[in-house]
Amino acid sequence: MSSNKGKIKKINRRDFFKKTAVFGLGATVAGSAFWRPGRASSQISIPKAPVPRRPFGRSGTMVSALSLGGMFDILNNRLALAKALDWGINYWDTAEGYGRGRSEEGIGRWFARYPHTREQVFLVTKLSKRRGGEFTPRLEACLKRLHTDYVDLFFVHGIRSIRDLDAGLKSWAQSMKKAGKIRLFGFSTHANMEECLEGAAGLP
């Protein structure tokens, strides 16, 4: 019998999550593109109780214990956004790099169609320093795709050391807060997590 080992394609962590991210909201969501208010899906049942909420640090904001991760084709699966709200999931996470902006665009089309839901959502987006370019025009492009004037939380995406949060970046974040573009500022990391968290704990 011949071996199939050579035929098995390798899949990295990011590709795996791209393929499975939508599964947390139910695989049956994946084929649906639109949602009509008041029209229950015959494919997905509403839970008896909404997802519980927790205080988000010292911000005074309550966010759902589960988040809606945006690393999937939101443009063609916007029913997932409706079900998230039905289930009380108000923490929506996306990024400039998710689908090259298509994730943000999908959420933006939702807000354009249902603008009253924007205040129900704790909206998060991210920019990576490694891509290069000034953050201000890139953030403006994110907001345009998201069809909103601000995000509740802005992350510097995928830092490798707490030193990546230099004085210039902190000053920029403060200016964006004053301009009303972002409410809260933070970072995400896929490496040196312990070092980054310890460093963040020592920040003023």
41 pLDDT above the threshold of 60: no
Domain range annotation of the chain: 11-36+53-201
Please provide the CATH number assigned to the domain covering 11-36+53-201: 3.20.20.100
Cα gap 85→92, rounded to integer Å: 10
The angle subtended at Cα 42 by Cα 37 and Cα 46, nearest 5°, is 70
32 pLDDT above the threshold of 50: no
pLDDT in tens, 145-191: 999 999 999 988 776 777 777 788 889 999 999 999 999 998 787 77
CA-CA distances (angstroms) from residue 164 to 23, 99, 121, 169, 198? 33, 24, 29, 8, 14
Given pLDDT bands bounded at 50, 70 and 90, which one contains residue 123?
Answer: very high
The angle subtended at Cα 184 by Cα 202 and Cα 178, nearest 5°, is 110
User: What number is the average pLDDT over the span 75-96?
Assistant: 92
22 pLDDT above the threshold of 80: no
pLDDT confidence of residue 108: 96
User: What number is the average pLDDT over the span 33-48?
Assistant: 46
Of 42-56, 108-122, 124-138, least confident by mean pLDDT is: 42-56
Cα gap 44→153, rounded to integer Å: 30
The DSSP result for 76-105, as a single string, is G-THHHHHHHHTT--EEE--TTGGGGHHHH
Residue 47, helix vs strand vs coil: coil
Structural contact between residues 45 and 70, judged by C-beta atoms closer than 8 angstroms? no
Cα gap 146→148, rounded to integer Å: 5
pLDDT confidence of residue 72: 87
